[in-house]
Amino acid sequence: MTTDPRTAGSGDPLGPDPDHDITLDAAALRVLAHPMRLVMLNALRERGPSTARRLAKELELDSGAASYHLRRLAAGGLIEEDQERGTRRDRWWRARHQRSYHDPATVAPDERQGSRAYTNAVVLAYGDQLRRLAAVVPLFPDDWFEASIFSDCTVSLTPDELNEMKRELVGVIDKYRTRRTSSATEEPAEGAAQVSVQLQMFPRL
């Protein structure tokens, strides 16, 4: 939904891909410090262009609030108006990038507050996504239910070891993602569906 690193040709699975990612600057971080904007941006990235009215209905929002959040996302350079569809009264919006990239280690000291506010919004947005998921898990088909996993474990790590684990796990995810996105015309495999993969790794201080 947010920081989604992948190989950028340098062999680093945690680096941004200039062809698909946007590296969030201070202005974009401020825009995305609202959890609902993260959810709306993710919806446009995953399901394609939409209108404020459609997103409001999907996310149980007031249409005026949805329009406001879309305008803020556009001002931050994250989405743009889809000129190929819609009317002046019914504007369609589309995401400008497939993923967002943010590395807190590169943030200047005077911008760290914005980085933390953005990360807080990410956590809140993930929490809302999991809350919505709880309502549909009982409806999963048997094969998808048996293949899913909701797991939690605690390990003792240093920050360097956590970075090493993060790099290894993202590398594994990237292998499967690039396998299906190497060709723009490649058809999804039979029986394939979009699968949400979330890495939630943090110290229990």
Is residue 65 domain-resident? yes
The boundaries of the domain holding residue 110 are: 21-181
Q: Among all chains, which residue has been given the structure tokens 């993923």?
A: 99
What's the order of all strands across the beta sheet hosting 50-51? 50-51, 92-95, 79-81
CATH number at 32 reads 1.10.10.10
Q: What confidence tens digit (pLDDT) does each residue in 107-166 have?
A: 889 889 999 999 999 999 988 888 888 999 999 999 999 999 988 889 999 999 999 999
Please tell me the distance from the alpha carbon of residue 193 to that of residue 100, in angstroms, as a whole number.
22
Tell me how many domains the chain contains: 1
Is residue 4 domain-resident? no
Is residue 103 domain-resident? yes
Residues in the chain: 205
80 CB-near residues (< 8 Å, 6+ apart): 74, 93, 94, 96
Is residue 62 domain-resident? yes
Is residue 5 domain-resident? no
**pTM for this predicted structure:** 0.77
Please tell me the distance from the alpha carbon of residue 199 to that of residue 182, in angstroms, as a whole number.
23
